A and B are shown apart, each in its own frame.
Chain A
Amino acid sequence: MTNDRESLQLKEHRAFQAKFWRLERVAWIFFALILVAVGLGLSGSGGPLSRSTLVADRSVADVPRFSRWEAPDEIRITLAPSSDQNLTLAAAFFSKFQIETMQPPPARTDPGQSSTVYHFGSSATKPLLVSINLRPLHPGQVAYPLGLNGKSVSAETFVWP
């Protein structure tokens, strides 16, 4: 600490300031690393690592690996041709997410205690693309099974606060 009592009444704490300047530069590197992680998609909302693809038989689910609290997100599902193209969402899913829209709308819904099954009809030849717009209700990690034409896959999403 410098104290120029004769000329300048000032407590400078220069040693601390010098350390803090170095710490500042370390913080800048940390800021840059955060932005790189964001660019890679670790904060959700786009980026190569922001989504994961799950396959069950010939059905595919594209789910967010990282999402943001109260920010809109999407799950894209391609259901393989089947006599009953259906999607099952577990209670764990609804504890974390609110479905805003589902396209196409299901022909029939079977709500249950532990899961809800959405039936979309049947097609022996055409796969069906289902788009679910959702909004995370709470921050934190959530694991939820997805049923694609009755075949279960495990999905995991981390919701940033």
Chain B
Amino acid sequence: MDSVIRGFAIYFVLLIAIRFSGRRTIAQMTAFDFVLLLIIAETTQQAMLGDDFSIANAAILILTLFGIDIALSYVKKWLPTLAVMVDGTPTVLVREGEVDTSALRWARLDEEDLLAAGRRQGLTSLDQIRFAILEASGGISIIPKK
């Protein structure tokens, strides 16, 4: 029972912390963002297992975490508002070539991040971008001008 409670607690602590830290964190845009996620994974592992390193405990925790995730996916289907709150929504950062500086600032991004995303699509400057969307996953989608 302890393991299930620990699993629940850590799942929701992580969900809240990561959701409120913003999508920039989950996008792993820099090496440090990636390192941060690794450290968090290591830290939470200790908190979930406690002193019990048995296979049974690990199996219970894995099932608990998958169970919460599956249950939450159904709840999000039934309550679309909750889905928006938990998963977030896409945000348009560039619309028809116009950069939304306010959205960039609030999302803790800058034009350099847009250019980096553009370069992955073979674009070399901002004025080649028609749309840029910050996806719920934290990635930036670029739609080039024709």
Q: B92 and A10: CB pair below 8 A?
A: yes
For the complex, what is the distance from the CA of A110 to the CA of B2, rounded to whole Å?
34
Residue of B nearest to A22 (CB): B106
Q: Give the interface of A toward B (CB within 8 A).
A: 2, 4, 7-8, 10-14, 16-18, 20-21, 23-24, 27-28, 31, 70, 161
Contact: B95 with A4, CB < 8 Å?
yes
- 6 tightest A-B contacts by CB? A27-B20, A13-B89, A21-B106, A24-B20, A17-B91, A8-B131
Instruction: Please name the residue on chain A nearest to B105 by beta carbon.
Output: A21
Tier of interface size on chain B: 20 to 34
Contacts of B9 in A (CB 8 A): 161
Shortest distance from the beta carbon of A101 to any chain B beta carbon, whole Å: 17
CB-based contact A8/B143 at 8 Å: yes
Determine if B84 is an interface residue (Cβ-Cβ < 8 Å): yes
- A2 pairs with B92, CB closer than 8 A: yes
Query: Which of B22, B85, B91, B107 has its CB near the most chain A CB atoms (within 10 A)?
Result: B91
Asked if B69 lies at the interface with its beta carbon under 8 angstroms from chain A, I say: no
* A12 close to B91 (CB less than 8 A): yes
Chain B residues, Cβ within 8 Å of A70: 50-51
Is B116 interfacial (CB 8 A cutoff)?
no
State in angstroms the CA–CA spacing of A27 and B13 once bound together.
13
Given A4-B95, A70-B50, A24-B22 contact (CB < 8 Å): yes
Q: How many Å lie between the Cα of A7 and that of B92 in the bound state?
A: 12
Whether B4 sits at the interface, judged by CB under 8 Å, is no
Residue in contact with A7 in the complex, picked from B17, B20, B84, B96, CB distance below 8 Å: B96
